[in-house]
């Protein structure tokens, strides 16, 4: 299941009702030649970006950079897109929870 602690991602950047941006993208691993790339998430809180690996991979040819999603209807693409959706929803839920509690939080 999902083992990324969303609350820990916000440590370091103060935020109360400020902007939150999420961007999923591919990054080449070391010694990359062709094919599979690592999926990363860039969280931007009030203009301050932090990046982390989501511990998933995708082929470059099967990634839509404009939609920040895998292309296709096969199981691997659907599974990755569902994982991205869950991660995105958890980030927004964390933001809502922390703002409701009036807790200052940040992107780690």
pLDDT band at 3 (very low <50, low <70, confident <90, very high): low
Beta-carbon contacts of 30 under 8 Å, excluding residues fewer than 6 positions away, are: none
- Domain annotation covers residue 105: no
Report yes or no on 82 lying in a domain: yes
- Report pLDDT for 10: 56
- Classify residue 107: in a domain, yes or no: no
Alpha carbon distances (Å) from 36 to 12, 58, 63: 32, 5, 10
What's the number of domains the chain is made of?
Answer: 1
- Give, for 41, the enclosing helix (H) or strand (E): strand 36-45
- Which pLDDT band, with edges at 50, 70 and 90, does 5 fall under? low
Strand partners of residue 91: none
CA 36 to chain centre: 18
Give mean pLDDT, residues 4-14. 54
Find the domain containing 64 and state its range.
Answer: 6-100
Question: Domain for residue 1, yes or no?
Answer: no
Please report the pLDDT score of residue 9 as a whole number: 56
Tell me if 96 is assigned to some domain: yes
For the chain, strand residue ranges (E) read 20-27, 36-45, 48-59, 63-64, 69-70
Question: Tens digit of pLDDT for each residue in 10-68?
Answer: 554 444 546 788 999 999 988 888 889 999 999 988 788 999 999 999 999 999 999 99
pLDDT, one tens digit per residue, over 75-103 is 999 999 999 999 999 988 888 877 777 65
Question: What are the angstrom distances between the C-alpha of 3 and each of 11, 99, 105?
Answer: 17, 23, 20
């Amino acid at each position: 299941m999902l083992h990324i602690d969303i609350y820990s991602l916000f440590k370091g950047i103060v935020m109360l009702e400020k902007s939150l941006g999420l961007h999923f993208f591919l990054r080449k691993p070391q010694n990359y030649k062709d094919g599979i790339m690592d999926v990363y998430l860039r969280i931007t809180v009030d203009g301050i970006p932090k990046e982390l690996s989501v511990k998933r991979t995708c082929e470059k040819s099967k990634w839509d950079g404009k939609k920040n999603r895998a292309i296709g209807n096969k199981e691997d693409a659907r599974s990755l897109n569902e994982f991205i959706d869950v991660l995105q929803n958890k980030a927004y839920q964390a933001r809502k929870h922390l703002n409701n509690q009036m807790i200052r939080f940040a992107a780690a």
